[in-house]
Amino acid sequence: MVARNLCIVGLSHRTAPLEIRERLAFNGPEIGKALGSLKQSAKAVTEAALVSTCNRVEMVAVAADPDAACSEVISFITEQRRLERKLFERFHYRLAGRDAVRHLFRVGASLDSMVVGEPQILGQLKAAYAQAVEAGAVGLILHRAFHKAFSVAKLVRKSTAIGMGGVSVSTAAVKLARQIFDSLKDKTVLMVGAGQMAELTARSLVRLGVESLLVTNRRFERAVKLASEMGGTAVPFEHFRPYLKLADVVIGSAAVSEPLLRPDDLGPVMRERYNRPMFMIDLGVPRNFDPSINALDGVFVYDLDDLGQIAADARYEREQEAQRAEIIVEREVDSFCHWLRSLDLVPTIKAVRSRIEVLRELELKRHRSWLATLAPEDRSRVEALSRGLTNKILHQIVSELRSLGHEADAQFVAAIARRLLGAQGSDASRSSLCLREGGQGDDDPSA
């Protein structure tokens, strides 16, 4: 009996600090390659998708043996990212079966987000799914699991107020700006990098009165485009440093391997600014600004974790809505697990089918000589009669099996069914005598 199981190995803002997460993050093109080589190296994993965002790095996998699969995935990720296995294991979590399904749905519904209800995660999950599909790593179960996660997210968003109004990382940043600056009108914002969240933050600041905006980005065209959209000025990435002294708010979201700005860079800038306060919002993972800049007088550096913490303080108001969302998620987890369990019955159903088909053929064979005396149309009539009879019996048995699988332990039900009919599950795939009916469609009983 092949019980296929969903499992998840990973770490998130709940379990691991930013320092670890930023070392593990995979960017878009890397994910496809990683899934490709995972297929080669991890034998226990049959399907996989890699979710890598600022707040989480998770491998969602399907395997018969979750323990073996998790272990393979950990080896894989730590080798890919050159992280000590011990370090990874200290911060990671692994989930299997129902827990894994629930986790995936909760992530999609933004219940596991740093800021519960923030809408970005769904897009990120969709992107992760698309990348895995493209890498050919997604099979029946993951297809279904991800699509279900998307529809659960939609359902939660529609039927609870979880996404309403609340505090996101960018609004937290804006709130902080108002604790530092009295008026935003005469302030200058410098965007280093053009990440989505950075754009959101910059837009809110502009809405609140900021009139001077500088945008710099590695891809200059993108900086020009953003700047023209928001009424700012684009600055070449290579030459953005001289503009630092003008900037009261610096928003970092550039893709970097190590910090762009360090305390040594900021010291002279602050002197040139006559120590006017400076607010540095670091939305990059890995971080754009060395956190020790925060020790400088008059500079305030907030990274994603800091902002998330502040946003989380405002989160409790949404607790009520989140609880309603959890109920929805739980219901959907139930239905998905039923489906997953009914998949366990597929080999049994196949075995029962082939067993009865074998019996039918045997009977026909026994009367071969008599059948030969009949006219061709009578012969096909007898044939049809035998098939009709077995199909009627099969239909009853199979539908009973499936409904039983939803209620009770599917494996147990399957074992009884096989015993009653003298059909051995493991033989089913081998007894390829007559598998005319055991086609693709059987893999998905609900199809």
298 binds other proteins (CB under 8 A): yes
Binding pattern for the stretch 267-286 against other proteins, x by CB under 8 A and - elsewhere: ----x-xxxxx---------
Nearest to 250 by CA among 205, 295, 190: 190
Is position 289 an interface residue for other proteins (rule: CB under 8 A)?
Answer: no
Interface with other proteins includes 300 (CB under 8 A)? yes
Cβ-in-10-Å burial (0-12, 13-18, 19+) of 362 comes to exposed
Site for other proteins in 18-77 (CB under 8 A): none
CB of 249 to other proteins, least distance (A): 12
Applying CB under 8 A, which of residues 19, 79, 229, 313 lies at the interface with other proteins? 313
The 3-class SS string of 146-193 reads: HHHHHHHHHHHHHHCCCCCCCCCHHHHHHHHHHHHCCCCCCCEEEEEC
Is 185 an interacting residue with respect to other proteins (CB under 8 A)? no
**Annotated catalytic residue: which of 54, 70, 337, 434?**
54
Interaction of residue 179 with other proteins, rule CB under 8 A: yes
Phi and psi at residue 238, in whole multiples of 5°?
A: -70, -25
State in Å, rounded, how far the first CA of the chain is from the last one.
21
By CB under 8 A, tell whether 294 contacts other proteins: yes
Q: Which of 39, 85, 98, 175 binds other proteins (CB under 8 A)?
A: 175
Q: Closer to other proteins by CB, 22 or 199: give it.
A: 22
The secondary structure of 303-329, three-state, reads: EHHHHHHHHHHCHHHHHHHHHHHHHHH
Task: For the CB of residue 311, give the shortest distance to other proteins in the complex, in Å.
Answer: 10
Q: Which of 88, 91, 105, 181 binds other proteins (CB under 8 A)?
A: 181
- For 44-99, give the DSSP string: SEEEEEEEE-SSEEEEEEEESSHHHHHHHHHHHHHHHHT--HHHHHHH-EEEETHH
Q: Is 263 in the site for other proteins (CB under 8 A)?
A: no
Number of helical H runs and strand E runs in the chain: 18, 10
Helix (H) or strand (E) holding 216: strand 212-217
β-pair partners for 351: none
**262 near other proteins, judged by CB under 8 A:** no
Binding-site member from 141, 227, 251, 310 for other proteins (CB under 8 A):
310
Nearer to other proteins, 229 or 313 (CB): 313
Residue whose CB is less far from other proteins, 212 or 431: 212
Q: For residue 70, indicate whether it is catalytic.
A: no
The first and second tokens of residue 308, run together, are 């998330």
Q: Does 178 bind other proteins (CB under 8 A)?
A: yes
Active site residues: 54
Residues in touch with other proteins (CB under 8 A): 175-176, 178-183, 271, 273-277, 294, 297-298, 300, 302, 306, 309-310, 313-314
